[in-house]
Amino acid sequence: MRVERAINASVSVRDLSLNFGAVQVLQALNLDIAEGEFVVLLGPSGCGKSTLLNCIAGLLDITDGRIFIKGRNVTWEEPKDRGIGMVFQSYALYPQMSVEKNLSFGLRVARLPKDEIAQRIARAAEILQIEQLLQRKPAALSGGQRQRVAIGRALVRDVDVFLFDEPLSNLDAKLRSELRVEIKLLHRRLQNTMIYVTHDQIEAMTLADRIAVMRGGVIQQFDAPQAIYNRPVNRFVAGFLGSPA
Ligand code: ADP
Ligand code: MG
């Protein structure tokens, strides 16, 4: 019998291929992420990181392969049914709504009871330290505050897996390092699975339990940061992340 996924895997990607027209952007890619693991997808611009994340999120129709989340084959499931929350580089907040309404929007659509919604928002606001901002509109927030609200929208949905696509790349260096620490603390506190896309080596080294180094739609190496740094499998990985030869 063919083994469909690793035991206890939170997210499993099996033989995933994705073509845009004649261009094969992802090539028979395999990836097993453990429950509670923080995995960084790292690689140069255009290597397919966002495409892989969007396939896991269900935002793209894949060409071939299968995707499992918590052991369930979600390959043909709607994004909203997959138990994932996504945080993008651009915050994608509703400009006309207050922070509170931005946070509650998905919960109201899902018809959660009012007091449950209020509880979830209070918890997320406390974790992300945005209690004082709930009545503001996005335009009245700083970039870092907006990104906190964007994380909060995933947080209130109580998802199994968080997907981040370069969430800090629009922020200045100081804010970037602050929010990096906060995302790390958030992961410690929630202990859920996080998949985090970046082209920034420092982000990858500081955040990841394991890093998947990508090039041309292929994972070159998938291992702990120190292992990759000390034992890169090829010149590309060494040049991108490894210790100087
Ligand atoms: P990354 O996130 O690593 O920078 P992407 O996943 O965005 O890379 O893109 C991978 C490749 O797929 C790039 O060559 C990009 O030009 C191409 N690509 C991405 N989206 C589309 C699309 N909608 N149509 C055609 N090509 C695309
Ligand atoms: Mg990208």
Give CA angle at 141 (140, 142), nearest 5°.
130
Residues measured by CB to lie within 5 Å of ligand 2, the ion: 50
Counting ligands in written order, the one closest to the CA of 48 is 1
Tally of CB atoms within 10 A around 190: 15
**Among the atoms of ligand 1, which is closest to the Cα of residue 214?**
3
Q: What is the pLDDT of residue 143?
A: 87
In order along its 245 residues, the chain shows pLDDT tens digits of: 444 555 568 999 999 999 999 999 999 999 999 999 999 999 999 999 999 999 999 999 999 999 999 999 999 999 989 999 999 877 789 999 999 999 999 899 989 999 999 999 999 999 899 999 999 999 999 988 998 999 999 899 889 999 999 999 888 888 888 889 989 999 999 999 999 999 999 999 999 999 999 999 999 999 999 999 999 999 999 988 865 54
Q: What is the pLDDT of residue 76?
A: 94
Counting ligands in written order, the one closest to the CA of 45 is 1
Give yes or no for residue 94 CB within 6 A of ligand 1.
no
Please tell me the residue having the least CA distance from ligand 1 atom 16.
Answer: 46
Q: What is the pLDDT of residue 204?
A: 95
Q: What is the pLDDT of residue 1?
A: 44
Q: Contact at 8 Å (CB) between 52 and 39?
A: no
Distance of alpha carbon 73 from alpha carbon 154, whole angstroms: 22
Give yes or no for residue 48 CB within 6 A of ligand 1.
yes
Residues facing 24 on adjacent strands: 19
pLDDT per residue as tens digits for the range 95-113: 999 999 999 998 999 899 9
**Among the atoms of ligand 1, which is closest to the Cα of residue 41?**
3
Q: What is the pLDDT of residue 170?
A: 82
